[in-house]
Amino acid sequence: MSGGGPGHGVAAAQGLFADWVGCVHVVEDRGFRLAEPLFAEEEAAIARAVPQRRREFIAGRTAARRALAGLDIGPCPIPVAADRAPCWPGGVVGSISHSPALVLAAVAREREIAALGIDAEAVARLEPEIIAAVCTEEDRRFLAGGRGRLAETGPLLVFSAKEAFYKAFYPLHRRFLDHDAAAIRFFAAPGGETGSFRVIAREPGLRASGFADRVAGRWALAGDHVYAAAVVPGPG
């Protein structure tokens, strides 16, 4: 697992994949300091982007290429598909996440990891209308019984876990899910700042697919960010 890239949360991001050391390679860049030149097709995708979006995109693609180096894949373009998803090299699964302060990229060989999603969110209090949109009644009941930092950041962590899950789901199924398609159950490790999560499918199509049952979810609270990852191990 590669940790390249400046930042204080690298250990938290790597810890999400502690069960898949050597399979998943993750790079975190706090402050968007990674800024290697883009390939022509990548540059075309952000030709009209505002400066902040350009910084995020460049840092994300640079972090992704550094993560790919952990798979012995040399510099290559990661174009933007029509649906705005990254186009990874053949045989690779990956995920990129941005917050206002950092970018994360994680990649793996699809023979080892069938699906992968990662998310990072700056700690902030969500507005009630956002909580209502993100958290199902089931999510809210579960969070009401929480304690410590998990309780303090619960709605944001639900959002992050669902984002990671949907990023893992979309490349395989090519359809969007609403936030009420699934509920999340969190389990805290000793110390209360890391743990696992389970995805409970509620949408009929998602439930029928069995995808949620295959997902291994991990979360972490580190400094001013929450992190979440969703992994589906491959057949090997």
- Give the residue from 88, 118, 148 where a domain finishes: 118
Tell me: is residue 182 an annotated ligand-binding position: no
In a domain, 212, yes or no: yes
Per-residue pLDDT of the chain (236 residues; tens, 9 = 90+): 554 443 445 688 889 999 998 999 999 999 999 899 999 999 999 999 999 999 999 999 999 999 999 999 999 999 999 999 999 999 999 999 999 889 999 999 999 999 999 999 999 888 899 999 999 999 999 888 777 777 789 999 999 999 999 999 999 999 999 999 999 999 999 988 999 999 999 999 999 999 999 999 999 998 889 999 999 998 75
Confidence (pLDDT) at 192: 86
Same domain? 15 vs 35: yes
Same domain? 188 vs 224: yes
Same domain? 211 vs 146: yes
Same domain? 158 vs 181: yes
Tell me: is residue 120 an annotated ligand-binding position: yes
Q: What torsion do the CA atoms of 192, 194, 200, 201 make, to the nearest 10 degrees?
A: 140
CA 214/CA 124 separation, integer angstroms:
30
Q: Please report, for the domain that includes residue 182, its CATH number.
A: 3.90.470
Tell me: is residue 143 an annotated ligand-binding position: no
Sheet with 25-30, strands from edge to edge, namely 25-30, 102-109, 92-98
- Give the residue from 71, 95, 118 where a domain finishes: 118
Tell me: is residue 61 an annotated ligand-binding position: yes
Confidence (pLDDT) at 9: 54
Tell me: is residue 41 an annotated ligand-binding position: no
Same domain? 155 vs 226: yes
Distances (CA, A) of 201 to 145, 183, 191, 196: 21, 7, 28, 16
Same domain? 98 vs 137: no
Tell me: is residue 97 an annotated ligand-binding position: yes
Same domain? 189 vs 131: yes
In a domain, 85, yes or no: yes
The β-bridge relationship of strands 225-233 and 182-188 is unpaired
Tell me: is residue 198 an annotated ligand-binding position: no
The pTM of the full predicted model, rounded to 2 decimals, is 0.92
Helix (H, G, I), strand (E, B) or coil at 38: coil
Give the residue numbers spanning the domain of 112. 10-118
Total domains in the chain come to 2
- Give the residue from 83, 118, 153 where a domain finishes: 118
Tell me: is residue 138 an annotated ligand-binding position: no
Confidence (pLDDT) at 235: 77
Confidence (pLDDT) at 231: 98
Tell me: is residue 56 an annotated ligand-binding position: no
Tell me: is residue 137 an annotated ligand-binding position: no
Confidence (pLDDT) at 4: 44
